[in-house]
Structure 1
Amino acid sequence: MSERRRGPGLGVLLLCYEVASIGFSQIPPVTLIAVVGQALLYSGYISVPWDRWDVCVSAENILNGKEYSRLFLSAVEHGSDMHLYYNMISFISKARGLEQDMFGSCNFAVFLLLMTLLCSVTYVALSAILFRVLHDYAYMKTCAIGFSGVVFALKALTTKREDAVNPGGRLREIDGSLNLPFQNTVWSELILIYFLVPGSSFVGHLAGILAGMAYIHTPVGDLVDHIIAMVTGERLYRWSYLMGYT
């Protein structure tokens, strides 16, 4: 096991600046705890008995090695301080509204745990399928860390909400030149990040989108909501939110 470097890097310092600019009081508690916790973990201020790459997730170490703890631990580790920075900034922009307007803090905490598991399981399943179809064992061995999958799952939820509130609307310019319909932004970001960010996990990001879509459109969402209600005692009405109602 390699030693974890202690101390914040540039990305962590930039993240601190951005959080302070938003205002700690403007970020709901579970979202803030998730961001601060991952920053402290990356910086080495939370002591754990593993190095970040010791807990990366792959189809090989889950299906063959049965190392199921990686399904959770891999999501909260990051490969670099800038990887952490971009993930957390994107997470804050999506999680704030979801925690405040759709879930509530207790429900959102349980939802994040379940979505992390769902994203990791989807990643493992996609990797195994790609191996079977393309006969390339590299897909089984490719190991990923980071919160990107969960961020993309949340992006699927927020995009669904935006499209419901403004049907047929178009969302933000990308590089100042391209306007995209709400419903296409999550897929466009998947493609853009793949080409513009070398080393990013296309399969991991795709797994996050598919996990988000499964929560929105399939009985998986009913199961997740049922588990959340069992844990917290609070019911969820996700379609009321996702279809644009307050």
Structure 2
Amino acid sequence: MESGRWRGAVSRGMLPLLALHAVNEYYRLPWKPPVTAGLLAANTLIYLRPSFLDSLLPFVDEVWFNPHLILKNKDMKRFFLSVFYHVDESHLVYNMMSLLWKGVQLETSMGSSEFVSMVVLLLGLSQGISMLLAKALLVFFDYGRPYYSEYAVGFSGLLFAMKVVLNSRSDNFTNVNGLIVPARYAAWAELILIQMFVPRVSFLGHLGGILAGILYLKLKGLYSGPDPLTRIIRELTGLLRWPLRFIGNMFRLRRRRISGRGTVGGERRSLSGTWRCPACTYDNSDWLRNCEMCGTSRSNNGEVLRQTSRHSHDLPLEELRRRRVERFG
């Protein structure tokens, strides 16, 4: 999450590198995490603002995360949308590279439904905790800058929360900008180092993300099974999958229907209106007496007679394959 006033997006040619890296990462994965891909696309599209979305998206000046404006105006779009906006290309690419690495691991290990639930909860917790911290500094220490004057956007608060969740059960050590620390404390080390070298970033936004990750793990420990939000998301996903599955089955049935020439292979049971050649397993129309593929004929009562006039038994497997390729080529 980065603080400051909007200076305008200046392209540095880094987005093609992000796209190449994401495509390469997804290409090698046996299962492609869809939610992570959706988050990458959403952040990138919001930054690029293509013409078909321009009229729908608020401008960054309308979504800066500022506790005072959120509470004063009950402006929830600042609360929820600020995480998806970035101030420049390097800010976007750095965050999306981190999201790609963390999102793939988390979504693969916990499943898409639980991953969506986690992202939603972490977003609400991290933004809420950041607001509470800013308000607490104002009330107890009379320090009002984070509450009144700090404007921030970016996905990094959520990334800090994801890092806490990802490393929560790790006993390994990790490298944080050259500093070797236990993985479970990596988020704290990164918080301090980033603040030292990039002081204009939002300290409270990142701290709120870390605390949100810790609180999420505590809340998750209270449930033996999936949390209620995960159950709701799974039910909604199931409702959406049903019509898609129905449409997919309709298309598959259409592809398997026979129209004169039949199909090769398929089920053992012959389809209605067809007969299967025992020599080459080609499904032929009931209108045909001889197999279109190898010439074997059938009798009038529907039983198949193997004729030797076309030497179907002597045809090598490679010749049958060649004929099938020619038939459908």
TM-score (norm 1): 0.81
Match of 2:285 in 1: none
Match of 1:79 in 2: 87
2:168 aligned with 1:160, yes or no?
A: yes
Q: State the SS of the aligned residue for 2:58.
A: coil
**Cα distance in 1, alignment partners of residues 13 and 130 from structure 2:** 29
2:132 aligned with 1:140, yes or no?
A: no
Match of 2:309 in 1: none
**Cα distance in 2, alignment partners of residues 219 and 97 from structure 1:** 18
Does the 8 Å contact 1:111/1:224 carry over to 2?
no
Structure richer in helix, relative to its length:
1
Q: Measure how far apart 1:112 and its partner are.
A: 1.5
Match of 1:193 in 2: 194
2:48 aligned with 1:43, yes or no?
A: yes
Cα deviation 1:10-33 (Å, max 9, x = unaligned):
332331132133235635111011
- Which is worse superposed, 24-33 or 34-43? 24-33
Q: Report the count of equivalent residues.
A: 224
Does the 8 Å contact 2:126/2:158 carry over to 1?
yes
Change (3 A) 1:173 1:188: closer
2:235 aligned with 1:230, yes or no?
A: no
Q: Measure how far apart 1:138 and its partner are.
A: 1.5
**Cα distance in 2, alignment partners of residues 157 and 41 from structure 1:** 26
**Cα distance in 1, alignment partners of residues 214 and 162 from structure 2:** 10
| 5+ residue gaps, structure 1 | 164-168, 235-246
**Cα distance in 2, alignment partners of residues 25 and 34 from structure 1:** 19
Match of 1:106 in 2: 113
Change (3 A) 1:219 1:64: farther
Q: State the SS of the aligned residue for 1:64.
A: helix
Q: Which has the higher contact order (CA 8 A, sep 6+)?
A: 1
Q: State the SS of the aligned residue for 1:161.
A: coil
Q: State the SS of the aligned residue for 1:172.
A: strand
2:208 aligned with 1:203, yes or no?
A: no
Match of 1:243 in 2: none
2:38 aligned with 1:33, yes or no?
A: yes
Does the 8 Å contact 2:160/2:206 carry over to 1?
yes
Aligned residues: CA RMSD:
2.6
**Cα distance in 2, alignment partners of residues 135 and 64 from structure 1:** 18
Match of 2:73 in 1: 65
Match of 1:242 in 2: none
Does the 8 Å contact 1:10/1:82 carry over to 2?
no
Does the 8 Å contact 1:15/1:85 carry over to 2?
yes
Q: State the SS of the aligned residue for 1:171.
A: strand
TM-score (norm 2): 0.62
**Cα distance in 2, alignment partners of residues 131 and 92 from structure 1:** 36
Does the 8 Å contact 1:148/1:205 carry over to 2?
yes
**Cα distance in 2, alignment partners of residues 150 and 221 from structure 1:** 22
What letter matches 1:38 in structure 2? N
Match of 2:182 in 1: 181
Identical positions, percent: 30
Match of 2:173 in 1: 170
| 5+ residue gaps, structure 2 | 1-5, 237-329
